Amino acid sequence: MESIFSRYKSLLVLGVVLLVQLIALATQVHRPTVAAVADARTDGHHVRAVRYAVDIVVAPIEKLFTGMGHGARNLWRNYIYLRGVRRHDYDLQKELDQLRVQQMSLMADARQGQRLQKLLGFRQQYIYKTVVAQVIGTSGSDQSRVILIDKGSNDGLKTDMPVITPDGIVGKVRDVFPNTAQVLEMNDQTAGAGVILETTRIRGILRGNAAGQLQVIDLLPDDRIKPGERVLTSGGDLVYPRGLAVGDVQSIGPDKQHPPYIALTLRPAASLSQLEEVLVITETTGALAGAGDGDAQPSEDTAAGALPTAGTADGAPLRPVAPLHPDRFTPGTVPPAADLRPGAPKPEGR
Amino acid sequence: MNSMRARHENETTFHPVVLVATPILALILQAYVPHLFPQFVILDLPLLVVIYFAITLRGAIEGTIMGMLIGLVQDAQTGRPIGVNGMAKSIIGYAAASIGVRIDVENTVSRMLLTAVFTLANSVLIYTIERRLLGFETHWLWLYETVRIIANALVSVVVFWILDRLRRKG
């Protein structure tokens, strides 16, 4: 008996090692029951502890590497390679002046849009607070598109917070540690988001594929969809705020796994493979900064100013003709839709 | 038989610091360098380290344990369940150590061939575990796997040469 054990000792060790890991894997696989769907992507405490233990060892060294890399790059860019900087500075200043003027106009439009949305009872989430984080590492594997950032729960980060760059969305926070966090990129196979095509307003589901590409799936064939069309977040997933750039359509093909649907392959708006800095959206709000409730009253001047106008030959705006016998179709005689309540008694005279 | 005896007489050992620091360095480089050069992700430095130490030390148990530990750390850095790489690299460590006893692993060509075979085996194991055990929608991309095998085999020559400098003859 002893000789058999010593003879197959290494094979037994392999068997035990595989069995232990197999059991560990089995405990991590969630059954797709309705109750578990919301929790399906989260790790158990023991798995989180293993990830955290590795993070404690790996993250400080990666931060050191990143710091050294940035130091060397800054030394080169800021003190040695300064050719053309003055010209570039002048060009940027000009561009900045133009953008300031443009921004003022856009802010006015945005506030007005918000007022109109409020009148229609439409809720929109605006990005209110972000945390800038530096990418310090990756998963190092092509099976998993995960990046490590240098901000964690100490900086206010929480699981499922959206991560973006000024160009477009990156992904969402997957695991948060005190000083670092793992971000699941949009092109990972387990990632997903609700999206909408900008011009055709067709909604779909964004997913990553095995090759690390972004795909919009669950779409019925539609001739209106053309390569180059921009794709934005729809806000329907309750993770990403509405209207963030995702990418543009690169190609359209059949969805081989779900016929007769089609799948759109996207060119990501953010450079997912070479990220240096990202923004984590830690707070969203229903109002733009500076647009208080007082501004929410409909302003005829601003509303009319932005809408397409029609006028008489002498330039005066068209006014509705006063009715001879006012009825329920006459403007102003019916209360606004926002004031109507289901089951409420009819107003008098109707 | 004579060659087996000669190899046993030339038992290779490493300083404990080398045995600990090399896998850690490989894991950190694997996580950090793709951030600068995304194409680097096609390489699997931790796998090369497992293969090297397993075929050089020729201990099946040591190869299995090292493969498991390195694989588990790799898994912890991904968003995937922990154990996929751990299982695959445990088997690779065991197999590499078993082969290291039987054939000449000092030759550059045989090392490249071994690395190519084990890279393919690693990919097949991970694919099987993810597809069959976990039910993930993974796809086998032949062209990509071929490039990965060639790239790892070529880089193994350099990595193994560097690690050879750290050996101590027993």
Contact B31 A140 (CB under 8 A): yes
Whole-angstrom distance, CA of residue B144 vs CA of residue A214: 18
Which position has the higher pLDDT, A112 or B124? B124
Whole-angstrom distance, CA of residue A341 vs CA of residue A26: 52
Radius of gyration of chain B (CA): 16
Which pLDDT score is estimated for A296? 40
The mean predicted confidence, pLDDT, of chain B is 88
The string of pLDDT tens digits covering residues B41-65 is: 999 999 999 999 999 988 899 999 9
> In chain A, what residues touch B72 (CB-CB under 8 Å)?
21, 50
Picking from B27, B41, B66 by the largest number of A CB atoms within 10 A of its own CB, the best residue to mutate is B41
Tokens 């008098």 — which residue?
A: A348
Which position has the higher pLDDT, B18 or A2? B18
Does residue A205 sit at the B interface (CB-CB below 8 Å)? no
CATH 3.40.50.720 fits A126-285, yes or no: no
Cβ atoms of A186 and A206 closer than 8 Å: yes
Does residue B169 carry a pLDDT above 70? no
Please tell me the distance in Å from A134's CA to the nearest CA on chain B. 11
The first and second tokens of residue A105, run together, are 């106009």
Number of helical H runs and strand E runs in chain B: 7, 2
Whole-angstrom distance, CA of residue A219 vs CA of residue A221: 6
Collapsing DSSP to helix, strand or coil, A176 comes out as strand
Whole-angstrom distance, CA of residue B100 vs CA of residue B107: 12
Which pLDDT score is estimated for A124? 60
Q: Is B139 left (phi over 0), alpha (psi -120 to 50) or beta?
A: beta
Rounded to a whole number of angstroms, the distance between the first and last alpha carbons of chain B is: 20
The first and second tokens of residue B67, run together, are 């493969």
Residue ranges per structural domain of chain B: 2-169
Contact B91 A14 (CB under 8 A): yes
Please tell me the distance in Å from A246's CA to the nearest CA on chain B. 20
Q: What is the DSSP letter of A153?
A: G
As a dihedral over the C-alpha atoms of residue A252, residue A256, residue A257, residue A262, rounded to 10 degrees, the angle is 30
Contact A25 B28 (CB under 8 A): no
Beta-carbon contacts of B114 under 8 Å, excluding residues fewer than 6 positions away, are: B51, B55, B96, B99, B105
What does the pLDDT average to over B57-79? 91
Which pLDDT score is estimated for A309? 37
Which pLDDT score is estimated for A118? 72
Report ipTM (2 d.p.): 0.85
Please tell me the distance in Å from A91's CA to the nearest CA on chain B. 29
Tokens 């019925």 — which residue?
A: A220
Does residue A249 sit at the B interface (CB-CB below 8 Å)? no
Highest mean predicted confidence (pLDDT) among B5-9, B11-15, B56-60: B56-60
Pairing of strands A192-197, A203-208: antiparallel
Contact A140 B73 (CB under 8 A): no
Which pLDDT score is estimated for B1? 43
Tokens 């045995």 — which residue?
A: B19
Which pLDDT score is estimated for A286? 61
C-alpha triplet A189, A191, A194: angle, nearest 5°: 125
Which pLDDT score is estimated for A239? 87
Whole-angstrom distance, CA of residue A92 vs CA of residue A99: 10
Whole-angstrom distance, CA of residue A200 vs CA of residue B81: 39
The string of pLDDT tens digits covering residues B93-103 is: 999 999 888 88
The first and second tokens of residue A341, run together, are 């309540």
Beta-carbon contacts of B57 under 8 Å, excluding residues fewer than 6 positions away, are: B12, B13, B14, B63, B97, B100
Which pLDDT score is estimated for A343? 61
Which pLDDT score is estimated for A317? 43
> In chain A, what residues touch B66 (CB-CB under 8 Å)?
none
Which pLDDT score is estimated for A284? 78
Which pLDDT score is estimated for A86? 86
| Model confidence, pTM | 0.74
Residue ranges per structural domain of chain A: 1-40, 83-119, 126-285
Q: Which amino acid is at A303?
A: A
Cβ atoms of A251 and A231 closer than 8 Å: no
Asked if the peptide bond before residue A326 counts as cis, ω within 30 degrees of 0, the response is: no
C-alpha triplet A145, A150, A152: angle, nearest 5°: 95
> In chain B, what residues touch A174 (CB-CB under 8 Å)?
79
Does residue B71 carry a pLDDT above 90? yes
Q: Among residues A198, A190, A187, A184, which one has the least CA distance to residue A278?
A: A184
CATH level 2 (architecture), domain B2-169? Orthogonal Bundle (1.10)
The first and second tokens of residue A19, run together, are 């069995």
Quote the distance between the C-alpha of residue B92 and its chain's center: 7
> In tens digits, what is the pLDDT along chain A, a chain of 350 residues?
567 778 788 899 999 999 999 998 888 876 544 444 444 456 777 888 888 888 888 888 888 888 888 888 888 888 888 888 888 899 999 999 899 888 888 888 888 887 787 777 665 666 678 899 999 989 888 888 999 999 999 999 999 999 999 889 999 999 999 999 999 999 998 888 999 998 888 899 999 888 888 999 888 888 888 889 999 998 888 888 888 899 999 999 888 777 888 889 999 999 888 888 899 998 877 654 444 444 444 333 333 333 333 344 444 444 444 555 555 555 555 555 555 566 656 555 44
Whole-angstrom distance, CA of residue A156 vs CA of residue A131: 8
Whole-angstrom distance, CA of residue A187 vs CA of residue A214: 5
Q: How confident is the model at residue B155 (pLDDT cuts 50, 70, 90)?
A: very high
Count CB atoms within 10 A of the CB of residue A260.
8
The first and second tokens of residue A174, run together, are 């997957």
Contact B81 A29 (CB under 8 A): yes
